[in-house]
């Protein structure tokens, strides 16, 4: 029985999909302006492993990942570098996709750009205004959080905590056009030098949260099984997605299981563009085999924060090469050992415990005639020998 940790209930729950043997999953993608650091890789390698594991368990998976190709950060960076925001976005999306391919991450079923879903965003915003849960003010449109009593149900934060984080994460609670400081932007008036789309609320561009709600509706429907992303997206991004999607569709819950990956630290702090302590995947790829990097990422449980240490990466590389040697020595014609597959499955069923699954593989690599079994189990983790 597969059990996954749900951030909404803060507990491990039995995985029961909305539709038998089918999984609809969405993971927030990158904002393409300087990818791909190790924190990104940790998130997307983890969700790729989850997809592979679902397939191994007989599920049919529909997986959407987006590119936030219009957003404050990308416009700011384009301005600083004197580049066109579209060209900047395409460039960094290309880098990201190349890094993902190197790490053996399978392409999602749908890979979508926010700028291709603007019509859907406008449609949802119109409905929210019609339902009186959103309001216009001076060319901006805000979601009225006082109309959504459960705001905070995912993050489990109180108003004071939400206000602090909103300020830290670009939510601008001091905006005088808002009724409640926690109201969030659905649509914003563009400055004269910013890209703008025509809408019933005036020329402007979408807010960040409405982008994901719209792409989910377009590619997966009104309710999905799993929504993922990094832990730092819980508030305000995912909290706001819930408010607008559940109000728009009337279908509760919008997402059955919320899954979040832990932060990767470096030099004692969260790896972040703003702190300049990024370990870039492209730099590691110059020194290490992509397979070793993927394996190294999976030696960390997806919910446990960890600090990058190159010595640990070297250790993992050594461990994997010893598995490789043993696989080469073993009899290639050996059959798959079903009791090993069963044990591996029971480890992975417990909230995708990849560190223990890898430990288990190191142990079985020491036994004779295990090469076929090892190759099969490694392929479920997306590790190539």
Binding site residues, Zn ion, CB under 5 A: 28, 212
Least distance from Zn ion to the Cβ atom of residue 237, Å: 6
Q: How far is the CB of 267 from Zn ion (least distance, A)?
A: 28
SS3 165: helix
Give min distance, CB of 40 to Zn ion, in A.
Answer: 14
CA distance 92 to 35: 6
**Closest approach of Zn ion to the CB of residue 256, in Å:** 17
- Cβ-contact 260, 231 below 8 angstroms: yes
Q: Rounded to an integer, what distance in angstroms lies between the CA atom of residue 256 and that of residue 348?
A: 20
* Shortest distance (Å) from residue 69 CB to Zn ion: 12
CA atoms within 13 A on the CB side of 33: 21
Nearer to Zn ion, 28 or 347 (CB): 28
User: What span, in angstroms and rounded, lies between the C-alpha atoms of 5 and 2?
Assistant: 10
Q: Which is nearer to Zn ion, 151 or 344 (CB)?
A: 151
Cβ closest to Zn ion, residue 28 vs residue 361: 28
Residue whose CB is less far from Zn ion, 28 or 121: 28
Residue 178 or 227: the one with the smaller Cβ distance to Zn ion is 227
Long-range pairs of 344-349 with CB within 8 A, sequence gap ≥ 24: 344/377, 344/380, 345/57, 348/53, 348/380, 349/1, 349/2, 349/3
What's the min distance (Å) between Cβ of 26 and Zn ion? 8
Best CA proximity match to 264, nearest among 293, 241, 227, 225: 293
Neighbours of 158 (CB within 10 A): 9
Which of 28/295 has CB closer to Zn ion?
Answer: 28
Residue among 45 and 255 whose Cβ is closer to Zn ion:
255
Q: How many whole angstroms separate alpha carbon 201 and alpha carbon 125?
A: 9
Nearer Cβ to Zn ion, position 26 or 135?
26
Q: Is 253 helix (H, G, I), strand (E, B) or coil?
A: coil
Instruction: Quote the least distance from Cβ 28 to Zn ion, whole Å.
Output: 3
CB of 150 to Zn ion, least distance (A): 19
Nearer to Zn ion, 26 or 59 (CB): 26
Shortest distance (Å) from residue 212 CB to Zn ion? 3
Contact between 291 and 383 under an 8 Å Cβ cutoff? The reply is yes
Contact 309, 269 (CB under 8 A): no
Whole-angstrom CA distances from 309 to 264, 266, 316, 331 are: 11, 8, 11, 36
> In angstroms, rounded to a whole number, what is the distance separating the alpha carbons of residues 272 and 229?
15
**Phi then psi for 256, rounded to 5 degrees?**
-80, -45
- Which residue number, 2 or 117, has a Cβ lying nearer to Zn ion? 117
Find the shortest distance in angstroms from Cβ 211 to Zn ion.
7
For the chain, state the CA radius of gyration. Answer: 22
| 232 Cβ neighbours under 8 A, 6+ residues apart | 169, 263, 270
* 18 and 59 Cβ atoms separated by less than 8 Å: no
């Amino acid at each position: 029985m597969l059990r996954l940790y749900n951030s909404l209930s803060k507990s491990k729950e039995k995985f029961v999909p909305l539709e038998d043997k089918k999984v609809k999953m969405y993971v927030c993608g990158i904002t393409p302006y300087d990818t791909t650091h190790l924190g990104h890789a940790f998130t997307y390698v983890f969700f790729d492993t989850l997809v592979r594991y679902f397939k191994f368990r007989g599920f049919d998976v529909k997986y959407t990942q987006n590119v936030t190709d219009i957003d404050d950060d990308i416009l700011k960076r384009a301005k600083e570098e004197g580049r066109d925001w579209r060209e900047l976005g395409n460039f960094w999306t290309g880098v990201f996709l190349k890094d993902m391919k190197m790490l053996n991450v399978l392409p999602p079923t749908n890979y979508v750009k926010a700028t291709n879903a603007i019509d859907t965003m406008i449609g949802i915003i119109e409905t929210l205004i019609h339902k009186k849960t959103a309001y216009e003010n001076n060319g901006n449109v805000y979601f009225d959080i006082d109309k959504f009593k459960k705001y905070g149900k995912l993050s489990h934060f109180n108003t004071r905590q939400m206000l602090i984080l909103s300020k830290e994460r670009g939510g601008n609670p001091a905006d005088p056009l808002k009724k409640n400081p926690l109201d969030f932007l659905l649509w914003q008036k563009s400055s004269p030098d910013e890209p703008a789309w025509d809408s019933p609320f005036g020329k402007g561009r979408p807010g960040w949260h409405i982008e994901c709600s719209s792409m989910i509706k377009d590619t997966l429907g009104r309710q999905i099984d799993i929504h993922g992303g990094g832990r730092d997206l819980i508030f305000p991004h995912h909290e706001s997605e819930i408010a607008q999607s559940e109000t728009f569709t009337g279908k509760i819950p919008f997402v059955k299981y919320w899954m979040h990956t832990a932060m990767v630290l470096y030099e004692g702090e969260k790896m972040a563009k703003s702190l300049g302590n990024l370990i870039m995947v492209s730099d590691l790829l110059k020194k290490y085999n992509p397979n070793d990097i993927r394996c190294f990422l999976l030696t960390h449980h997806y919910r446990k924060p960890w600090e990058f240490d190159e010595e640990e990466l070297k250790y993992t590389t050594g461990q994997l090469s010893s598995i490789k040697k043993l696989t080469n020595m073993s009899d290639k014609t050996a059959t798959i050992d079903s009791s090993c597959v069963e044990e591996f499955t029971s480890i992975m069923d417990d909230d995708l415990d990849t560190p223990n699954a890898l430990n288990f593989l190191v142990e079985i690599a020491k036994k004779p005639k295990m090469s076929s079994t090892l190759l099969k189990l490694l392929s479920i983790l997306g590790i190539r020998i």
